[in-house]
């Protein structure tokens, strides 16, 4: 028997979905950091700041997202905002734990960038589909999709280009070029899988 596509997720499904998504996001960001690469969004901003300051990614990621919580509350409501706050906090926590639990040896940079961005793309799908986001540009992309019928992946990609261009002031040009390829991979995952009307759970 076919499943009703409008059937909402239960609370346990939301909890497990957000935990899964944030865990994958933290792992993907950890791989990018180890590859000395960048990505888009507030995660990319936080990564750039880790290269330029002594602060850890986990703390920076949370702090950079704080202003966007107000936007989420204004346009998306309390439920989404609280879920996003929890998601951002979990990514920050998991990223800090990864540094202690998964000491990565030196990896191929291209592999790290592609794998890290694929993990980020899948993680974003998971948290989006459970009524949350990873903050920052995710919030802007979701609002653009819901209110202006613009695909979230394409909106996110446009914003990410700006962050990656800024990265040229901090990161070696070749690292930025590889990072740009990774950002395209991430946003293609979103553009091809997160479309208006495709998923209503």
> DSSP string covering 34-87, please?
HTT---SHHHHHHHHHHHHSSS-HHHHHHHHHHHHHHHHHHHHHHHHHHHHHHH
| Predicted structure pTM score | 0.81
What gap in Å lies between CA 126 and CA 162, rounded to an integer? 25
| Residue 154 CA from chain centroid, whole number | 14
Q: Please state, as a whole number, how many other Cβ atoms lie within 10 Å of the Cβ of residue 16.
A: 14
pLDDT single digits (tens) 26-71 = 999 999 888 888 887 788 888 888 888 888 888 899 999 988 888 8
The CA-based angle 14-20-24, given to 5 degrees, is 145
Q: What are phi and psi of 176, to 5 degrees?
A: -65, -40
Integer Cα distance of 28 and 30 in angstroms: 5
What's the pLDDT tens digit per position in 63-90?
A: 999 888 888 888 788 888 888 899 999 9
Q: Output the CA torsion 141→123→17→156 (10° steps).
A: 0
């Amino acid at each position: 028997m076919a499943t009703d596509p409008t059937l909402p997720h239960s609370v346990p499904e939301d909890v497990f979905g957000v935990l899964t998504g944030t865990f994958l996001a933290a792992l993907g960001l950890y791989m990018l950091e180890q590859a000395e690469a960048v990505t888009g969004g507030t995660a990319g901003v936080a990564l750039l700041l880790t290269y330029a300051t002594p602060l850890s990614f986990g703390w920076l990621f949370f702090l950079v997202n704080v202003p966007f919580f107000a936007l989420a509350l204004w346009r998306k409501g309390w439920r989404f905002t609280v879920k996003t706050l929890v998601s951002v906090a979990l990514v920050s926590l998991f990223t800090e734990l990864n540094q202690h639990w998964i000491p990565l040896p030196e990896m191929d940079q291209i592999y790290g960038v592609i794998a890290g961005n694929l993990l980020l793309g899948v993680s974003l799908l998971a948290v989006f589909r459970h009524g949350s986001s990873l903050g920052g540009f995710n919030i802007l992309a979701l609002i653009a999709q819901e209110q202006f019928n613009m695909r979230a992946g394409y909106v996110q990609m446009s914003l990410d280009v700006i962050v990656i261009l800024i990265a040229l002031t901090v990161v070696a040009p070749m690292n930025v070029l590889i990072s740009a390829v990774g950002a395209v991979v991430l946003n293609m995952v979103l553009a091809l899988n997160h479309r208006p009307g495709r998923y209503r759970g």
